[in-house]
Amino acid sequence: MNASSAAGQISPPPSTELLMSLVGFTSLDLAANRDGKLSQKQRARLRPPRIGGLALLVLLAHVALILALLGGIALLTGRWELLVVALLVAGLAGLPVVLANNEAFVRPLLAKDLSAGRVAAACGPLARQMQTGRATRYYVIVEGVRVEVPRRAFGMFREGVDYCLYYLPESRTLLSVEVA
């Protein structure tokens, strides 16, 4: 008896276990997605990275140094336009921090999905599609829903076989998948 059987859960079939490792989800993620919800792990993984305290401290130190240097030069030379430049530089230095920490700016559709917290499902025969350009992108299509999949997982999907895709409806971000 394995650990999942002991906990009262049935182990997923081997094909789903392989998809779990290739797409990057767990049986707990899949269970939450079947219920139309995001798991806490998925929610945390999909949020954009936050700028850490040390990075913010370094940035603020640079801004303070620039303000001090340009302010000092402005005071010594009487060229007050340097204070305007100093304030402009300080404002622009903080812009990346604001943008990087603003999930709605970085990926607005994903931000909308995360705030709604709703997971959609499409079940049926699968078709595969490759899109070439600057980079090759890999997609699977079920019931007219096209989602991008990792290259390493693309070869695992079999055309015509029934799958259930669990995805975020606005951004079409694949969360989990199983053979139907």
User: Distances in Å between the alpha carbon of 94 and those of 82, 83, 149?
Assistant: 18, 17, 35
Return the minimum-mean-pLDDT range out of 35-39, 88-92, 131-135, 161-165: 88-92
- The domain 11-35+118-179 having CATH identifier 2.30.30: the answer here is no
Whole-Å CA distances, 162 to 12, 32, 157: 16, 20, 10
Highest mean pLDDT among 17-21, 94-98, 135-139: 135-139
* Domain extents in the chain: 11-35+118-179, 53-100
pLDDT tens, residue by residue, 12-64 = 667 778 889 889 999 999 999 999 999 999 998 888 666 666 777 777 788 88
For residue 68, how many C-alpha atoms fall within 13 Å in the half-sphere facing its CB?
Answer: 6
* Least confident interval from 39-48, 151-160, 169-178: 39-48
Q: Which of 145, 123, 120 is nearest to 37 (CA)?
A: 120
Which phi and psi (to 5°) does residue 134 adopt? -60, -35
Burial of 167 (0-12, 13-18, 19+ CB in 10 A): buried
Let me know how long the chain is.
180
